[in-house]
Amino acid sequence: MIVVSELRKQFSVRGNTLVAVNGVSFAVGNSEVYGLLGPNGAGKTTTLRMVMGLTEPDSGWVEIGGTRTDTDATGIRHQLGLISTNDGVYPWLSVREMLMYFADLYAVEPQIAESRLAELAELLAIGSFLDQRCSTLSTGQKQRVTLARGLMHDPPVMLLDEPTRGLDVVGSQTVFQFIELLKARGKSVLLSTHRLDEAERVCDRFGLLHHGTMRYEGTLGDLREQTGKTHLVDMFIELIREDRVGQATLGKSD
């Protein structure tokens, strides 16, 4: 459902050229969770913004459901649902009003939106506070409302950007259950996270970015074979170590 081909993006920073994403390619199938991982500055956010059609690549392209961002960026966004740690709720709207509002933004017919709201209310256990103002909700309740919001237009692709940041064990478990729901519904899921233990738990395949380049890609078994390391944390530590050794060597040569 998602095909990313040779994405490249560079920025000018204080007169210098910064290559944020350098020839990144990957694909995500239906009912698959793909972990886009990397340390700070690896290029994850820039890649996600290009997938969403919010940032135009210097070269390369993204295709979702047969539609490419370079031909119909608006059409692409209608096929995406985004769940981010930065998402909030509208405090003066009730849960029902807010979810119906987002359905309307995506031109979902009112009757279909009502049916979908009833379904999500049951699946995510938000039925008891649908008519409660969002400002009165607990953190866990707001989280479940945010998850429901991403599915009101029933997109085939879900982007999850640090969805468990700041959540406790119970809140994180809700996100894990939500991801299983997405897989059961045949969604393609692109997950970006720093919590590598969680990524190992929920992702089918991984792409490890470092300095804008895709260093390793595949299943956890593939990555173990490629790196000789057992866990994602060890793989990241080795990437950072290689980087420091390279910088130290370069410094000596200067």
* Structural domain containing residue 119: 86-154
Query: What is the model's pLDDT at position 248?
Result: 46
Residue 225 located in a structural domain: yes
What CATH number does the domain containing 27 carry?
A: 3.40.50.300
The reply to whether 93 and 58 lie within a common domain is no
The reply to whether 34 and 57 lie within a common domain is yes
Residue 173 located in a structural domain: no
Supply angle C-alpha 109, 114, 120, rounded to 5. 120
* 126 touches 145 (CB < 8 A): yes
Distance CA(221)–CA(104), nearest Å, equals 43
Joined tokens for residue 195: 């919590």
Query: What is the model's pLDDT at position 213?
Result: 93
The reply to whether 90 and 75 lie within a common domain is no
166: left (phi over 0), alpha (psi -120 to 50) or beta: left
The reply to whether 20 and 73 lie within a common domain is yes
Distance CA(8)–CA(24), nearest Å, equals 7
Joined tokens for residue 199: 């990524």
Tens of pLDDT, residues 108-155: 999 999 999 999 998 888 999 999 999 999 888 888 899 899 999 999
The packing angle between helices 95-105 and 110-123, to 10°, is: 130
Residue 254 located in a structural domain: yes
Residue 149 located in a structural domain: yes
Residue 176 located in a structural domain: no
Phi first, then psi: give them for residue 69, nearest 5 degrees. -65, -30
Query: What is the model's pLDDT at position 172?
Result: 83
pLDDT averaged over 10-residue windows placed end to end, the chain, 254 residues:
93 86 95 90 89 90 87 82 81 95 93 95 91 92 90 92 80 87 93 88 93 93 93 87 57 52
Distance CA(98)–CA(102), nearest Å, equals 6
Report the DSSP pairing between strands 80-84 and 32-37.
Answer: unpaired
The reply to whether 46 and 103 lie within a common domain is no
Distance CA(166)–CA(113), nearest Å, equals 30
- The number of distinct structural domains making up the chain is 2
The reply to whether 56 and 10 lie within a common domain is yes
Query: What is the model's pLDDT at position 254?
Result: 54
Residue 170 located in a structural domain: no
* 160 touches 168 (CB < 8 A): no
Residue 174 located in a structural domain: no
Supply angle C-alpha 87, 39, 207, rounded to 5. 85
According to DSSP, residue 117 is labeled H
The reply to whether 69 and 112 lie within a common domain is no
- DSSP assignment of 132-168 equals SBGGG--HHHHHHHHHHHTTTT--SEEEEESTTTT--
The reply to whether 69 and 101 lie within a common domain is no
| Domain end point (choices 112, 133, 154) | 154
Residue 14 located in a structural domain: yes
Query: What is the model's pLDDT at position 163?
Result: 84
